[in-house]
Amino acid sequence: MSRLDSAIRRLEAQRDCLALAAELIKNLTGPVLELGLGNGRTFDHLRSLMPGREIFVFDRQLAAHPDCIPDAKHAIVGDFTETLPTALARTGELAVLAHCDTGSGDRAATSAQASWLAEPVNNLVCSGGIIVSDQAFEYPGWIAVDLPETVSPGRYFIYRKS
């Protein structure tokens, strides 16, 4: 498979998993967390998918398209190890959805970060909340959710916090 085809499949999987997540949380109240703003495409999509939700974005630096950068209240800039442990003071309540798009080209670094991220994300998501990720997580009390039929196993991941 070409890198272009792989990127297209990843983006389609991301879109379809976020659509399912939006359906799963429709009766829950609380904000959404976007870990990894990147160029802002997913943040922009989340805004259109869930227009009534507050969305807090975390990234090391803001380098997105100008139309896809949240306001200062909702942009939390810095290393995850510094920003996530204190994020609840900023968000004011537990999130109903955390989207973790934190993978990089370095598999070892991505895997290490994913194993570290699980606990702080768990501390920021409400019971019954959903975690959508480009990386697999194994965390006590997180139950894998069946992926949309359009998403191949291992391409993207969805969990519900019990």
| Residue 4, pLDDT score | 95
| Residue 29, pLDDT score | 96
In terms of average pLDDT, the best of 61-65, 94-98, 116-120 is 94-98
Burial (Cβ within 10 Å: 0-12, 13-18, ≥19) of residue 27: exposed
Q: What domains can you pick out in the chain, each with its CATH number?
A: 3-161 (3.40.50.150)
| Residue 119, pLDDT score | 95
| Residue 51, pLDDT score | 95
Assessment of whether the complete model's pTM goes beyond 0.75: yes
- 82: pLDDT strictly greater than 70: yes
Stretch 21-30: mean pLDDT: 97
Spatial CA neighbour of 126 closest among 58, 28, 50: 28
| Residue 109, pLDDT score | 67
